[in-house]
C-alpha cells in the first residue's frame, strides 16, 4: 500500500496526539448534523424532551461503539478504516412508518431486523462480487457525494421550512466556506489538518456577532444538564411483517453505501489501488450491520457509515484509524455530558452546510475517478447513466414520487438509495449476453494494426477492464503478431483469443509454424549484430517483458503463445 501524495497521515500511521484530537473534534462536529434524524423520529411518536435527550445519549454510545468496530484492523469485524457510522436518512422513512404504526418498540424491533439483514449480506458479498463491478462502486460513491452536496445546499437554504436565509446567513456561509477552502488549498501542516474545525469556529463566532443565535438557542444550551446518565426504560422490541420490505430495502441501501465508503477509503489510502477489496468491504458491512442491531436493541434508530466523514478525511489528509478511536472516546464522553452536545445541536445552518459541501466535493470526485478507471461500453454506459439520472430525479422532484406504492417508497427516499439499487438491477440485466472470451483471425499478408487495437478496445470496454491493462495488451498483441509473421513464417491465419475475468487477462496467439523463442535473458549485442537469429531473440525477449507472464507451446505442428496480464 503506497500512500497518495494528498494524504498526510494514512490509515496505518499514528499522527501526533494534537492532530488526533483536532481531527476527532472535526469528525464529531460533522457527525452531529445527522442527529436530526433521531429528533424527527422522536417527534413522530410525541416523545418528551427527557426521553429524546436519553435516546440521543444512547445514540452517541452506539456511534462510539460503531466507530471503534469499523476501524478494527484485524479479525472478522471492521473494515479497518476511518468511516464511522451516523444516524442516517436511509432508515428515516421506514422508521417514521414504523413509529406511526406501532411506536418506538416497532421502530427498534425492525431496526434490529434491518441490521441482521445487513449482517447476512456481509457474508455473501464475495459470491455477489460480479454484481458489484468498479463502475457501480464509483457510481455509489459519486451519488453519495451528490446527495451530501444536496443536503448541504438544502441545509443552508432551510429548504422545507418557512425560514428564508438573509444577508447574515450568506456572510457566515461565505466566511466559513472560504476559511475551510483557503486553509485546505493554500496552507500546510496544522492549519490544513484543522481547516474544517477552524472554519466551523469562525462560523460560530461570526454568527454570534451578527446575532444569528436566537434566545431559544441559548435557552436550549442553558436548560441542558451538564451531566446525565441515559435511561433504557423505553426499550421494547416488536415485529411487523408488513414492514419487512421497507426495512429490508433500507438494509440493502445501507450495505451499498458502506461498500461505496470503504471503496473510497481503500482508494484514499493506496496510490496503487486498482479494485475494491471485498474482504475489507465485507468486514465493514458486518460492523455496520452489527452496530445497527445494537442500536435497535438498546433503543435508538438505525445507523450507517458516514460518507461525509470519509470526505472530511480526504479533505484534511488525515485518514488514520487512530482518529476513529478518538472519535469513539469523544462520543462516549458526550453521551454523559449532554450540554457539550447541545452546543453542536445549535450549529448554524450556514456552518453545517459549508462543512458538508467540503466533504461532498471530495466524495464526488473520488466517485468519478473510480468510474473512469475502467473502460465503459454501451451496456455499462447505460447502467451508470440511467441510474445516475434516475437518482437525480429523486433529488430534484421528491414530491413527484409520493403516489407510488408504499412498499417501494423506501427506494425513493434519496438518490443514494434509488441509484445503487437501479444500477444493480440494470447491471444484472445487461450482463446477459456478455462473453468473457473474444476471438479474432488475422491474415499474415494483411495485418491491420487499427483493427487489432479496435478489437482490444471493444473487448476491454465490454469487460469493464482497466484502460492501462488494455493499452499494454493491445501493444503486446500488435508487436507479437508482427514478430511471429516476420520470424516464424506462419502457414495460414493467426487465431487470436482473449479471455478476461476481474483478476486476469489472457491473450492466446495460435498459428501453424515453429514456436517463437521467448528468452528470459536479453541476447548480447554481438548476437544481435551477428545474425537475424539474435534479432528474433531480442524481439522475443521484449515481448516477454510486456506481459506479466508468457508461455509458448507446440503441438502437432501448431504453436500457441500465451500472454498473461494481471488485472
Residue with cell 478507471: 373
> What is the number of other CB atoms lying within 10 angstroms of the CB of residue 486?
13
Q: At residue 205, does pLDDT exceed 80?
A: yes
- CA dist list (Å): 26 to 283, 355, 400: 26, 9, 37
31 shares its domain with 163: yes
Tell me the mean pLDDT in the region 245-259: 83
168 shares its domain with 36: yes
51 shares its domain with 187: yes
The C-alpha atoms of residue 405 and residue 385 are separated, in whole angstroms, by 25
Is residue 443 one of the residues assigned to a domain?
yes
Is residue 430 one of the residues assigned to a domain?
no
Structure confidence at residue 117 (pLDDT): 96
105 shares its domain with 216: yes
Is residue 119 one of the residues assigned to a domain?
yes
Percent with pLDDT over 90 in the chain: 32
Q: What is the mean pLDDT of the chain?
A: 86
Is residue 45 one of the residues assigned to a domain?
yes
Structure confidence at residue 435 (pLDDT): 66
Structure confidence at residue 302 (pLDDT): 94
What confidence tens digit (pLDDT) does each residue in 514-550 have? Answer: 888 888 888 788 777 777 777 777 777 888 888 888 8
The C-alpha atoms of residue 415 and residue 401 are separated, in whole angstroms, by 12
Structure confidence at residue 468 (pLDDT): 84
> What is the number of other CB atoms lying within 10 angstroms of the CB of residue 525?
10
132 shares its domain with 227: yes
Instruction: Give the domain extent around 108.
Output: 17-371
Structure confidence at residue 115 (pLDDT): 97
Tell me the mean pLDDT in the region 231-252: 87
User: Where do the H-state alpha helices sit in 8-48?
Assistant: 17-31, 36-44
Structure confidence at residue 10 (pLDDT): 93
Which stretches does DSSP call E strand in 434-475?
Answer: 437-442
Four-CA torsion 178, 183, 187, 190, nearest 10 degrees: 170
Residue ending a domain, among 348, 371, 394, is 371
Residue ending a domain, among 320, 351, 371, is 371
Structure confidence at residue 405 (pLDDT): 73
Structure confidence at residue 118 (pLDDT): 95
Is residue 268 one of the residues assigned to a domain?
yes
366 shares its domain with 445: no
Of 232-236, 397-401, 508-512, the poorest mean pLDDT is in 397-401
Residue ending a domain, among 323, 343, 371, is 371
The C-alpha atoms of residue 493 and residue 212 are separated, in whole angstroms, by 79
What confidence tens digit (pLDDT) does each residue in 381-404 have? Answer: 899 999 999 888 887 787 777 777
454 shares its domain with 338: no
Is residue 382 one of the residues assigned to a domain?
no
Most confident of 219-228, 284-293, 399-408, 474-483: 284-293
- CATH number, domain with residue 560: 3.30.565.10
Q: At residue 297, does pLDDT exceed 70?
A: yes
Residue with cell 435511561: 231
Q: Band of the pLDDT at 341, cuts 50, 70, 90? A: low
Tell me the mean pLDDT in the region 242-263: 84
Q: pTM of the entire structure?
A: 0.70
Residue 439 phi/psi, 5° resolution?
A: -120, 155
Which cell is 285 given?
Answer: 458491512
Percent with pLDDT over 70 in the chain: 96
Contact (Cβ atoms closer than 8 angstroms) between residue 275 and residue 210: no
Residue with cell 445487513: 118
Over 169-236, what HEC string results?
HHHHHHHHHHHHHHHHHHCCCHHHHCHHHHHHHHHHHHHHHCCCCCHHHHHHHHHCCCCCCCCCCCCC
Tell me the mean pLDDT in the region 10-18: 93
Is residue 348 one of the residues assigned to a domain?
yes
Structure confidence at residue 510 (pLDDT): 94
Four-CA torsion 171, 38, 344, 185, nearest 10 degrees: -60
Tell me the mean pLDDT in the region 106-129: 91
β-pairing verdict for 504-512 and 558-566: antiparallel
Tell me the mean pLDDT in the region 303-324: 90
Task: Count CA within 13 A, CB hemisphere, residue 209.
Answer: 10
Q: Band of the pLDDT at 433, cuts 50, 70, 90? A: low
345 shares its domain with 450: no
Structure confidence at residue 161 (pLDDT): 66
User: Please, which residues have CB within 8 angstroms of residue 47's CB and are 6 or more apart in sequence?
Assistant: 55, 104
Domains held by the chain: number = 2
305 shares its domain with 450: no
Is residue 90 one of the residues assigned to a domain?
yes
Q: Band of the pLDDT at 189, cuts 50, 70, 90? A: confident
What confidence tens digit (pLDDT) does each residue in 140-178 have? Answer: 778 877 877 887 888 788 766 667 788 888 999 999 999
219 shares its domain with 331: yes
Tell me the mean pLDDT in the region 39-54: 81
Q: At residue 432, does pLDDT exceed 70?
A: no
112 shares its domain with 224: yes
Q: At residue 39, does pLDDT exceed 90?
A: no
338 shares its domain with 450: no
Choose between 401 and 490: higher pLDDT: 490
- CA dist list (Å): 36 to 33, 330, 408, 499: 6, 19, 24, 51
Amino acid at each position: 500500500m503506497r500512500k497518495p501524495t494528498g494524504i498526510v497521515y494514512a490509515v496505518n500511521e499514528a499522527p501526533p496526539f494534537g492532530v488526533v484530537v483536532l481531527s476527532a473534534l472535526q469528525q464529531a462536529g460533522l457527525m452531529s448534523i445527522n442527529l436530526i434524524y433521531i429528533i424527527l423520529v422522536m417527534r413522530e411518536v410525541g416523545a418528551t424532551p427527557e426521553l429524546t435527550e436519553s435516546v440521543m445519549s444512547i445514540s452517541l454510545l452506539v456511534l462510539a461503539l460503531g466507530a471503534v468496530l469499523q476501524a478494527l484492523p484485524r479479525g472478522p469485524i471492521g473494515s479497518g478504516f476511518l468511516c464511522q457510522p451516523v444516524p442516517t436518512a436511509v432508515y428515516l422513512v421506514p422508521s417514521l412508518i414504523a413509529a406511526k404504526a406501532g411506536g418506538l418498540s416497532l421502530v427498534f424491533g425492525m431496526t434490529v431486523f434491518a441490521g441482521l439483514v445487513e449482517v447476512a449480506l456481509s457474508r455473501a458479498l464475495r459470491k455477489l462480487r460480479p454484481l458489484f463491478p468498479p463502475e457501480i462502486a464509483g457510481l455509489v460513491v459519486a451519488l453519495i457525494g451528490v446527495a451530501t452536496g444536496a443536503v448541504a445546499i438544502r441545509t443552508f437554504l432551510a429548504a422545507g421550512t418557512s425560514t428564508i436565509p438573509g444577508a447574515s446567513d450568506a456572510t457566515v456561509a461565505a466566511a466559513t466556506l472560504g476559511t475551510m477552502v483557503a486553509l485546505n488549498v493554500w496552507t500546510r501542516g496544522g492549519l490544513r489538518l484543522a481547516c474544517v474545525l477552524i472554519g466551523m469556529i469562525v462560523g460560530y463566532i461570526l454568527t454570534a456577532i451578527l446575532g444569528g443565535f436566537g434566545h431559544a438557542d441559548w435557552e436550549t444550551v442553558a436548560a441542558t444538564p451538564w451531566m446525565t446518565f441515559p435511561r433504557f426504560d423505553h426499550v421494547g422490541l416488536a415485529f411487523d411483517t408488513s414492514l419487512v420490505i421497507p426495512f429490508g430495502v433500507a438494509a440493502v441501501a445501507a450495505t451499498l453505501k458502506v461498500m461505496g465508503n470503504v471503496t473510497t477509503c481503500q482508494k484514499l489510502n493506496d496510490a496503487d489501488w486498482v479494485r475494491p477489496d471485498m474482504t475489507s468491504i465485507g468486514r465493514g458491512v458486518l460492523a455496520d450491520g452489527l452496530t445497527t442491531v445494537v442500536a435497535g436493541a438498546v433503543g435508538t434508530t438505525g445507523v450507517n457509515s458516514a460518507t461525509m466523514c470519509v470526505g472530511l478525511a480526504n479533505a484534511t489528509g488525515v485518514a488514520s484509524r487512530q482518529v476513529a478511536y478518538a472519535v469513539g472516546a469523544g462520543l462516549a464522553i458526550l453521551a454523559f455530558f449532554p450540554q457539550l452536545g447541545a452546543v453542536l445541536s445549535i450549529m448554524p445552518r450556514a456552518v453545517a452546510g459549508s462543512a458538508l459541501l467540503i466533504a461532498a466535493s471530495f466524495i464526488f470526485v473520488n466517485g468519478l475517478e473510480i468510474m473512469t478507471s475502467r473502460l465503459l461500453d454501451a451496456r455499462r454506459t447505460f447502467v451508470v447513466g440511467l441510474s445516475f439520472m434516475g437518482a437525480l430525479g429523486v433529488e430534484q422532484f421528491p414530491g413527484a414520487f409520493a403516489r407510488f406504492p408504499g412498499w417501494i417508497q423506501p427506494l425513493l427516499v434519496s438518490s443514494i438509495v434509488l441509484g445503487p439499487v437501479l444500477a444493480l438491477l440494470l447491471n444484472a440485466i445487461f450482463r446477459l449476453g456478455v462473453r468473457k472470451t473474444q476471438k479474432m483471425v488475422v491474415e499474415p499478408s494483411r495485418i491491420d494494426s487499427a483493427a487489432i487495437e479496435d478489437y482490444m478496445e471493444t473487448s476491454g470496454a465490454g469487460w469493464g477492464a482497466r484502460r492501462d491493462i488494455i493499452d499494454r495488451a493491445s501493444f503486446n498483441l500488435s508487436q507479437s503478431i508482427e514478430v511471429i509473421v516476420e520470424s516464424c513464417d506462419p502457414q495460414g491465419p493467426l487465431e487470436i483469443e482473449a479471455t478476461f475475468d476481474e483478476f486476469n487477462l489472457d491473450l492466446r496467439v495460435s498459428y501453424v509454424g515453429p514456436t517463437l523463442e521467448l528468452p528470459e535473458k536479453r541476447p548480447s549485442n554481438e548476437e544481435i549484430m551477428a545474425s537475424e537469429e539474435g534479432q528474433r531473440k531480442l524481439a522475443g525477449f521484449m515481448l516477454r517483458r510486456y506481459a506479466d507472464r508468457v508461455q509458448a507451446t507446440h503441438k502437432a505442428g501448431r504453436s500457441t503463445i500465451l500472454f498473461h496480464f494481471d488485472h
